[in-house]
Amino acid sequence: MTRAPGDHLVLEVAGDLVEIRCSTTADGDFHIEGPRAALVHRRTAFAPGTWTQLDEVHGTAVLHVDAPGEHDFEVGDALVCRRRGCVLGVWVGDCAPVAFIGDAGAIGVAHAGWKGALDGVLQATVAAMRPDRVTAYLGPCIHACCYEFGTEELAAFTDRFGGQVAATTAWGSPALDMPAVVRAALAECGVALVGESRCTGCDAAHYWSHRRRRQAGRQVMTICRRAPG
């Protein structure tokens, strides 16, 4: 299996291990609108455990998972949990998948497309994890080099987050810088964004892209808290 660099991270937090994984095209398609049995099999092969993967709608709803598998395939765009053994997953084409780790054991994950990011899905996820101090990790998403954006919609972002979220594409058109949007949104609630994000538009060898290549496939980002050993 061909892996992309930096797609598997294991951290020790509050005496447990927290594992973050980002899939590539080699792991298969994680779009929930495909055959359900095949998706369930693919999920188990990618990240062992009982999953919760939402029917995402570009909103701001955050669901609390209190038992493995709770809320699987329900509508929402973010998940938080304080239990061991719960695999939380968000599936994306070009949108930003963000994983969250709290210092006292909370974990979370959010699907942040442009609409959800503008409406506050990341801030809502952090709020649901308090009183933990939270650190965030951004997975592969489309970057400004590939993300042409309408000037009227772009103005809504610069009004909200400042001029640093505006950029230009590789071909010179107005663009939205999604990593900068994520960073700015998280800064509003005092959360640091660590690690690097690769561009789904540029890296055709590893990722699907709806915006650049009109592909239907989706990758997934998962987070799970496990007992050590």
Candidates 176, 195, 49; CA nearest to 115 is: 176
**What confidence tens digit (pLDDT) does each residue in 163-215 have?**
999 999 999 999 999 999 999 999 999 999 998 899 999 999 999 999 999 99
Count the neighbouring beta carbons within 10 Å of the beta carbon of residue 169: 17
| pLDDT for 6 beyond 90 | no
Candidates 55, 52, 56; CA nearest to 67 is: 52
Q: What percent of the chain has pLDDT over 90?
A: 94
**What confidence tens digit (pLDDT) does each residue in 26-64 have?**
999 999 998 999 999 999 999 999 999 999 999 999 999
Secondary structure E strands in the chain: 8-13, 16-22, 50-53, 62-65, 78-81, 86-92, 96-102, 107-112, 134-138, 166-168, 174-176, 192-194, 219-226
Q: How confident is the model at residue 7 (pLDDT cuts 50, 70, 90)?
A: confident
CA triple 105-112-184, angle to 5 deg: 80
What 8-state DSSP symbol labels residue 69? T
pLDDT reported for residue 4: 59
**What confidence tens digit (pLDDT) does each residue in 85-131 have?**
999 999 999 999 999 999 999 999 999 999 999 999 999 999 999 99
Candidates 34, 50, 53; CA nearest to 109 is: 53
Q: 149: exposed, middle or buried (C-beta count within 10 Å: 0-12, 13-18, 19+)?
A: buried
